[in-house]
Amino acid sequence: MNANEFPENDLILQDEVYLLVGSALEVLNVLGHGLREKTYERAMIVELKSRSIQVEQQKSFPVFYKGVEIDTFIPDLIAMARIVIDTKTIERITDLEIGQMLNYLKITGLSVGLILNFKRPKLEWRRVVLQTHKKDKNSRPFPSIRGTNPV
């Protein structure tokens, strides 16, 4: 199975993601790079609200193991009640961050996530889609990843 088997999933919330990336570009242009993750998270809230984009910060989601609630997960931001946003200041976005985002999507029940990396002068971002189509009952969701390459 590959990401091209379900191309319609790549289009999920595409316009909304571009609005969020545009907001992140504005944040980076104003603040510059090299600050703490929390600084960019807070700036994203201000920017999104200034664009009348609904955003929630630190919303709590239960984590279950075999039907038992064992923990809570608190994503950085949820935009438009549909997209998980994870702000980062790391060298580059790797499979580790993409895997984390896939888990975030499973926990929240949402299907689209956006990883924003403010470490460098050029914004690095990845759009992650948790596929909901399954070929058979033993299939696992397959991620689709879109975004810019690091500088």
Domain-by-domain residue ranges, the chain?
14-133
pLDDT digits (tens, 9 = 90+) for 87-98: 999 999 999 999
DSSP letter (8 states) at residue 110: -
In this structure, whether the domain defined by 14-133 belongs to CATH 3.90.320.10 is answered with yes
81-129: pLDDT as tens digits: 999 999 999 999 999 999 999 999 999 999 999 999 999 999 999 999 9
pLDDT at residue 69 tops 60: yes
Distance between CA atoms of residues 144 and 80, nearest Å? 20
Question: Per the confidence metrics, is the pTM higher than 0.95?
Answer: no
